[in-house]
A and B are shown apart, each in its own frame.
Chain A
Amino acid sequence: MPAATASGGGARAEEAAASSSSAPSCVGMRPEELAARLAAAGGPGAAAGDGGGAGGEEGEQERVLALREIKNQIIGNRTKKLLYLRLGAVPAVVAALAEPGASPAALVQAAAAAGSFACGVDDGARAVLDAGAAGHLTRLLAHPDEKVVDACARALRMIYQSKQAPKFDVNNEKNMDFLLSLLDSKNENVTELAANIISHSCDSNTEQLALCGAGVPQKLVGLFGGSMNLRDACLDSMTAIIRDNCDVASRFASMDHGKYFRSIVGLIHDRSPRTRLLSCLCLIALGHASPCHFPDRQIKTKLILVLLELIEEPGNVGDEAPLALTTLIKDSVELQKQAFSTNAVVKLSNHLLANSLETRRAVTILFALAELCSKQEESRSQLMSGQVSTLILDALKHDCADIRVAACSCLKNISRSSKVLSAGRISCDTVIAPLVQLLYDSSTSVQIAALGAICNIAVNLTPRKSVLLHSGVVSQLVNLSKSMDPTLRLKSVWALRNIMFLLNPKDKDFILKELTVSTLSSLICDSEHFVQEQTLALVQNLLDGHVDSVNYVIAEDGMVLNAISRQLNSASAPGVCVQGMLVLANMAAGDELNKEAVMDVIVPHQADRIKSSFVVNFLQSKDKQLRVATLWCILNLIYPKCDTSSTRVTRLQNVGVISQVKGMMNDPCLDCKNTRQRLAKEKLGKGALHRDVCREP
């Protein structure tokens, strides 16, 4: 082996040129030369030993040296990987794996180089796969030389860690047998490879069931006794087999009277932090997939404690621990309460304060804090009263988009609290101004996160809405409501709807002037039904308590009303119909003109061609909310009793609405029944108005 020196640089080319004529040496050689030499060393020409290429033993030796040098240049070095890719070195490297008489030394170097090309560079992984490396490497796992097997298993692990690698089809019986044989290997590099293949390939229900049926979980747990790295790989693939699969999860939990389950629980106190994290993740996946097989509250409390401790760990483990905690406590009031009582908010906050915002850890901690505040009032006020609240505001202006998103989701969840909002800590310029600024952000995910926070802040801002209105938020929300991105449209309309809630007439006019009637009607007919629904809820809040607002609905030849009519007649999604009927109900609570306009929508005018009104269908709907909304609308139309309302009753009778209402005497829904009774008695107060806000989930 040529002696390696620390010298590189200027003399490299000459040195290489000088040495290549005497002894085969590749150290320090320029990539172009090296790639060419490798290409010449390989192939049938070289094997024949003629022409310019080197053949025989010497040729083989030269090839090993060239492969080794390429390997040493590319490992850890992205730039060099891309350079060699451009020079077309990958097929030559893989060709060395295919050579029937290749020496173990050449195979080891070629496998290592192929593995390195596949690591961290997508193009590299693709090139390695395109050259057929996976097949050669897999075949070489049966090579008699253990060093070759090690090198090939490591290279395949690199390949299977790339997203570019194809899924290993475990539904194929032959493949499954092969995988099982890998799991039974004595070589830990090979068993670890098997675990990596499972983690990479297993994501559908059938695959999970197939692996479980073949006894893979038992084998994986059996390998826990091996090295630390192997155990971690096995834990990771256990999680992949269990994730979101109730069947597999419950089978695993009860396997051998819970022995396998307990062996994973035992690992949450392992010495290695990474093992602790991975076993927590496995148990969290198990708990989510099969809650009934994981009722043990004690274990969940332990998981919270272990994860909070892991946040102190350096590197990847500490970065990922807050995310695992987030997944664990998601949607569970009880676990969030428990996390709060173990001082999670304080611990996470202190950690955030002690470190810079630059890191991935800051992002994951902010997400964990956001989750803690999603349902827990105490968490919210604790977070807002601490020093961290200032830090969250700084994070809104941070350079890194992920940090801005995370800070927004914290604010979104904190502002679910009426208490915090009415204390005025969020509804002030210092918070609202930067949030509104984020609506102009170049990243869509930041815009969406900021909209979420603004939605919730708008809900409880009633006395102080002017702060928001005069922050320039409305015009940007209107802009976003015309975005190509459906989520941006949804959330901007949602925010407008919440701002509109209980707003004074002057400010409602202000919003409508920005929004315009034509935008409003096109949003009602948006391609996405969730946008339609939000827009109709916005119209509802617009009509509530403000007589003149109706003008917007019937303005410009009734553009908005026509849009609503179109949606109701085309039997859109149930949610859209409910909101549409509530808009009509609010309108019908107005004067004669309004009532008649509503009548024109729900009763088709052509008396000769009696077409059944959609109202009849709505009254028969399985959706009780739709039935109630429709009943309210009819109630408002026929109240108060007078000549014109009797005409309306007749018209409704003609299209079969009244008989349908009569038939609803025994409606299973109490709301429907009550409304119907009031309808029958016709001795009601003023018809009900509907207005509503909805917090961002």
Chain B
Amino acid sequence: MNPFVWRRGKAEKLLSLPVLEECFCACRQLPASMASSKKVVTRDEWERKLRDVKIRKEDMNRLVMNFLVTEGFVDAADKFRIESGTQPDIDLATITDRMEVKKAVQSGNVQEAIEKINDLNPTILDTNPQLYFHLQQQKLIELIRVGKINEALEFAQEELAPRGEENQAFLEEIEKTVALLVFEDVKNCPYGELLDVSQRLKTASEVNAAILTSQSHEKDPKLPSLLKMLIWTQNQLHEKAAYPRISNFSTAALEDPAI
């Protein structure tokens, strides 16, 4: 296939990005044999183009607020609200509650977390069997961690076994968790990762997402998606042109185009 035709197809999807469109036109004028020689956009030219792009301050502020709220930086969000005048799309008090729940799971206090979720909104765990199961499973893991073997066994039988009867996938999870009881050295057994901090974090983030959803809030902040899109776009553009790209996202510094 002619490489130009193929690229053109790709580029057409991105017609809304003016830079790319121009670049594609430049490409089309090149003969096929010179496909590898890319158009070069100098740093000056690039910065000039960027200067013409308008961004509204309020949009920026909202993105920042969205990030603070979703990630649960409640004090920062409150300060930012006062200083920038940006209204959060959620009651800031609920962030504190959400963060407390998250912290409870992260530190292994699962029962406390369950009660706090129920105080926050009793319909969350009733309508989300998977989350409820994962919390119960986490509770079992915590019992095993502190060596309360008898309690763990009783809990598994009384509370978890009925969930396993309701759902095959849950049953497999229970079996894996209970298997931890068989090993002397639980940390190094096949399912040892269940005792890892990462398991608590996984459960905590599931809880966090469910609470956000119950509050009609998206469970992921928008800033990371925006950065992801930037990386993807840069990669697309890289095939067609040499331009000052950003590689270090903590500084967002423009690099000189490599020719």
Contact = CB atoms under 8 A, between A and B. Distances in A.
A71 interface: yes
The 3 A-B pairs at the shortest CB distance, nearest first, are namely: A9-B151, A227-B216, A76-B132
Interface string B198-210: 0000000000000
B166 interface: yes
B29 to A, nearest CB: 34
A20 interface: no
A93 to B, nearest CB: 13
Contacts of A79: 162
Contacts of B128: 76
A6 interface: yes
Given A7-B148, A229-B214, 13 more contacts: A4-B112, A4-B115, A6-B110, A8-B139, A9-B148, A9-B151, A10-B151, A75-B114, A76-B125, A119-B126, A157-B123, A228-B217, A271-B218
Interface string A109-146: 00010011001100000000000000000000000000
B150 A154 contact: no
15 contacts: A4-B111, A5-B109, A7-B148, A8-B111, A8-B155, A9-B152, A9-B154, A9-B155, A10-B154, A72-B118, A78-B166, A119-B123, A151-B122, A154-B123, A227-B215
Residue among A7, A151, A158, A229 with most chain B CB within 10 A: A7
A228 B219 CA distance: 12
B122 A116 contact: yes
A227 B218 CA distance: 11
A154 B122 contact: yes
Interface in A613-646: none
A410 interface: no
A358 B172 CA distance: 15
Given A75-B122, A115-B122, A227-B216, A6 B114 contact: no
A170 interface: no
Contact of A154 (B121, B129, B139): B121
A309 to B, nearest CB: 15
B186 interface: no
Nearest to A27: B111
B192 interface: no
Contacts of B78: none
The winner among B129, B143, B151, B152 for most chain A CB atoms within 10 A is: B151
A623 to B, nearest CB: 54
B88 interface: no
B250 interface: no
Contact of A4 (B109, B150, B218): B109
Contact of A8 (B112, B129, B151, B162): B151
B151 A71 contact: no
A68, A78, A271, A272, most chain B CB atoms within 10 A = A78
B122 A229 contact: no
Contacts of B154: 8-10
A158 B125 contact: no
Nearest to A232: B216
B127 interface: yes
Given A72-B118, A79-B162, A227-B216, A6 B143 contact: yes
Interface in A1-32: 3-11
Contact of B127 (A112, A119, A271): A119
Interface in A143-165: 151, 154, 157-158
Contacts of A10: 150-151, 154
A116 B126 CA distance: 7
B123 A78 contact: no
B136 to A, nearest CB: 8
B221 interface: no
A76 B126 CA distance: 4
A68 B115 CA distance: 9
